[in-house]
Structure 1
Amino acid sequence: MKSICIYCGSSVGASPVYAEGARLLAKTMVDNNIALVYGGGNVGLMGVIADEVLRLGGEATGVIPKALMDKEVGHGGLTRLHIVKDMHERKAMMAELSDGFIAMPGGIGTLEELFEVYTWAQLGFHEKPIGLLNVNGFYNGLIGFLDHVINERFLRREQADLLVHAEEPAALVDMLKAYRPQRHAKTFDRVTAGKII
């Protein structure tokens, strides 16, 4: 594993534990010679993890749409910064440049990015590992909701297991490095004469 795409907030959040989690993840990645790929901003947790990776001597590649260069304050000190035309190109390039994905705490943009690559994995469009860095129990509600989705038969357990999670960065990175893809085809219910079969 040479690079991990990190999805995270453009805010630092309500507690300093989130920034500390970002710094610990940066250290774990640099210690494992894993480069950072992320959204290219210099604000919030995005800026924290990029700054720490660079401070520790690691590589950080940002991908940012031209329209967000001012809003997200594009980071000027990265190893590489790709400026792209829109969010679709941003997400596609981030995925292409990465060997795995981690979602740190963040808002709806972070969740949207996470669920897109998670859906791609479920559909078999890629076989890269995906993880949640569950700092301070941030993702407990989401993990519980996915169990509810399984119980309601909209998701199979093996598909849910495509998304791993841990509270500590070192444990999560180890899980991503140990990941071995397995085929879990998305199933579709057929409706015949008003009955689901």
Structure 2
Amino acid sequence: MSEISKICVFCGSSDGNDLAITDAAERLGTYFAKNDITLVYGAAKIGVMGTLAKATLDHKGNVIGIIPSFLKKKEVVHLGLTELITTENMHDRKLKMQEISDGFIVLPGGFGTLEELFEIITWLQLGLHQKPIGLLNVNGFYNDLLKLLETMVRKGFLSLENYELLLVDNTVENLVGKMNSFKAPQLPKWLNDSRA
């Protein structure tokens, strides 16, 4: 049994045009169900999000959806989830996701997915949580993003330690294994309450 019991997944509300991404979402949902990991996600029934939720539910897994009230339209929201939580706004949605999850996985998506990834990893960097964050690099989707992060390290805007907070793999099993082995870093000295 996995050490992580609830994983929040950030991913697209569109399907995209690469079937490998749809397949990866189905594999991830199936893996969650078979390993007693509850899926926490944005509650949509469309796109990669919907595929992921359907695969989890089809294999008798548990799915918690969290959605802000302004997005709770019948053509968007999945009403067949194990639990549906409605929040006042987007910020409260992300806060609730962070509070109830043991870790995070990022699948391919657009602006919203990247925004969620960077906010949650910034919170880890600042010591606001100590949970693992995994990037499932399906079919090289995030190769260019990873190159950009390497450039940020080389140019002195991102420390190597913080770069390594993002766990990356192209298989579900290996990524979850890395997440289970994750050890959160100590807070940087400049964030320590006891500093002079």
Same fold (TM > 0.5): yes
Correspondence list, 1:77-88, <5 A: 77-88=80-91
Q: Report the alpha carbon displacement of residue 29 of structure 1 after superposing the two structures with TM.
A: 1.6
The equivalent of 2:19 in structure 1 is 16
Provide TM-score, normalisation by structure 2.
0.92
Query: Which amino acid in structure 1 is aligned with residue 89 of structure 2?
Result: D
Distance in 1 between the 2:45 and 2:156 partners? 41
SS in 2 for 1:64: strand
Distance in 2 between the 1:186 and 1:110 partners? 30
Distance in 2 between the 1:55 and 1:28 partners? 12
The equivalent of 1:176 in structure 2 is 179
2:155 equivalent among 152, 155, 159:
152
Distance in 2 between the 1:108 and 1:186 partners? 32
The equivalent of 1:33 in structure 2 is 36
SS in 1 for 2:76: coil
Q: Report the alpha carbon displacement of residue 32 of structure 1 after superposing the two structures with TM.
A: 2.0
Query: Which amino acid in structure 1 is aligned with residue 90 of structure 2?
Result: M
Correspondence list, 1:1-197, <5 A: 1-70=4-73, 73-185=76-188
Query: Which amino acid in structure 1 is aligned with residue 109 of structure 2?
Result: G
Query: Which amino acid in structure 2 is aligned with residue 43 of structure 1?
Result: I
SS in 2 for 1:52: helix
Query: Which amino acid in structure 1 is aligned with residue 7 of structure 2?
Result: I
> Cα deviation per residue 1:83-131 (whole Å; 9 max; x = unaligned)?
1111011110011110000110000000000100000011111100001
Q: Report the alpha carbon displacement of residue 12 of structure 1 after superposing the two structures with TM.
A: 1.0
Distance in 2 between the 1:70 and 1:18 partners? 25
Distance in 2 between the 1:92 and 1:186 partners? 25
Q: Report the alpha carbon displacement of residue 187 of structure 1 after superposing the two structures with TM.
A: 6.1
Query: Which amino acid in structure 2 is aligned with residue 143 of structure 1?
Result: L
SS in 2 for 1:148: helix
Residues 139, 170 of structure 2: 8 Å contact kept: yes
Return closer, same or farther for 1:12/1:119 CA change in 2, 3 Å cut-off: same
> Cα deviation per residue 1:59-99 (whole Å; 9 max; x = unaligned)?
00000011111286110100000111110111100111100
SS in 2 for 1:131: strand
Q: Report the alpha carbon displacement of residue 186 of structure 1 after superposing the two structures with TM.
A: 7.7
Task: Name stretches of at least 5 consecutive residues in structure 2 with no aligned partner.
Answer: 192-196
SS in 1 for 2:168: strand
Distance in 2 between the 1:15 and 1:63 partners? 26
Distance in 2 between the 1:114 and 1:32 partners? 24
Runs of 4+ in 1 over 4 A off after TM superposition: none
Distance in 2 between the 1:104 and 1:156 partners? 24
Query: Which amino acid in structure 2 is aligned with residue 148 of structure 1?
Result: T
Residues 33, 57 of structure 2: 8 Å contact kept: no
Provide TM-score, normalisation by structure 1.
0.92
Identity of aligned residues (%): 45
SS in 1 for 2:102: coil
Q: Report the alpha carbon displacement of residue 178 of structure 1 after superposing the two structures with TM.
A: 1.3
Residues 10, 72 of structure 1: 8 Å contact kept: no
